[in-house]
Structure 1
Amino acid sequence: MVSVFRLPATLANDNEQGRLELEDVDGSCFHSLGMGVLSDGTPFLTQRGLAVLCGVENAHIGTISAQWRDEIQKPRINKIKDILARDGHTPVTAHIPVNVGGRRFFAYREEISLAILEYYAFDAGSQCQDEAKHNFRVMARMGFRAAIYQTVGYSPTREIDDQWRPFHDRLSLMYDKAPDGYFSIFKESAEVSVALGHSGVFPDDKIIPDISIGQIWSRYWCDNNLAALYGERLEYKHCYPDYFPQAACNPQPAFCYPEAVLGEFKRWLREQYIRGGKFQSYIGGQVQRKQITSEAARKALEAYSLNPQIGKRA
């Protein structure tokens, strides 16, 4: 499966030669190559792209693939496999077939591409190519993976960063908005959102645990007349990031509480909300609304060492 793929219309013809330029630090020199990133994060070159890099005809790379599993191996194949074995690789095939936009390509993974490039740079005898030598040295400096990642605009952490973005944006917007001497439920319960994210349930405009926590704590505050002990709570203006549906009602009134009760709130959050079953009920509700899967719910509860069946300490 291919997660990222770039195949420019200017892909070199079979007989064209290509080389990378050290001065081209922005990676634009790679735009004449077919390349991409597999779903496991492994970068690859297409057969034609690898041929351009090695300074040989496309058919030469195709022959390597065709002969890879021959019972009697050609010297060229043996040498390339020796290079791979030196680095701990023993691939069964030379390429992986991939389908992109209805077209079929041969993807040569990072380790295969580098081994074939090294062969044509230094071990092919009279068939060694100056382009391969030059490009191998460039790869040694730039890094094969880094160069392809940069060219196709792929970031190994981008997906995770995007999943955390709603929570991070809320933090940036509201982290310190409670008046001096008071705390917000959002800020002081952020640990719950972080634990959910680490278990694969990322807070967003649908998963907003501080709403549940705030509502239940508010009832606890009133039922136990905590204002008589700690002073009155206040309202402050709470806003959501502008891409949240809730932002249509910005700013919204929310309660903040005297810092004197913070210790009791933390105990209540730990003992009554999380360990007392309320957190489990919240997670169960998200499953029923199909906001998260049952497996994600299990992981979220286990993040707090809770039994998914009873919502108490395991």
Structure 2
Amino acid sequence: MDKSFLPSHEQQQELELFPVKEIEVDGIQMGVLNNGTPYLTMCGLSRLCGVDSGVLVRLTTNWLDERNKPRGKKIDSMLQSKGLRLTKLYTTITNQGIETHAYPDSVCMAILEYYAFEAHKAGSFDNTKALNNYRALAEHTLRRFIYLSVGIDPENPQRGAWQCFHERLQLNSQMPFGYFSVFSEMADLTLRMINTGFNFGPASIPDISVGVTWGKYWVSNKLDDRYGKRTRYPHVYPEWFPQHKAGPVDTWIYPDDALGEFRRWMQKSYLPTKFPAYIESKAREGAIPVVNTAKLLTQVKKPELPNKH
């Protein structure tokens, strides 16, 4: 699964995906997942493109084969031009007991673009509906359209990056004595990221990426034996976050004795090796503006004292 659609495989194990809200607008079914991903259902996508749903079912459920055929090659090329190399075009979710496929906005736009500009060249397909919808969404991105349609305003100035950070910090400021959380320990890094233009919000939660990667490091290095066992503690998201519907999420917290290890790992391992890829993926999604990752890295890394002889 490509990280531009969903969190990494490890993150998916931490976060069960489900729709926090799903509605229908002009016959197009859409929603937002609890990880912040806007999506269309198969019915919504087929209506958007003006194509029979059976055609798209064959394309998307057999994607590994279809992407090697003329239609699939063009759509795959569109996805790859955005930095997306997908082995699957949807995730399976359950809503009110009914299993359905959720197609992320990036996939929907690539398929819509194909039916707007390419499909009619191969036969008698009428591309009028797809073309009109594509033109409309070119000025009003699908991501923004879905957010606004389900009642989540991505540009509310009172809920910008600073407000988001303050709310999450207030909700999760109390840690049990003797433990630290990845989110609270990242506070200074988060502040520096926001200062450089990072759009800290429901669709860009860097502490998930850091937490999952640090957790793997903790387990692989058997740090329970060195510092004591980590434990779970509830993390709360603001009410206006899609993730809030899941309620408090049990996340790992770590013994204070491991703070030095965590800080060294952040500076020497995560920031130089994982952080640039995370930032680039969020920029491709449109969750944050495109930034110079090398420059950002120099701004968020802590300075080191000069060697004294």
TM-score bucket of the superposed structures, by smaller chain: 0.3 to 0.5
Q: TM-score of the superposition, structure 1-length normalised?
A: 0.45
TM-score by length of 2: 0.46
Q: Please identify the structure whose Cα radius of gyration is greater.
A: 1
* Higher RCO, Cα 8 Å, sep 6+: 2
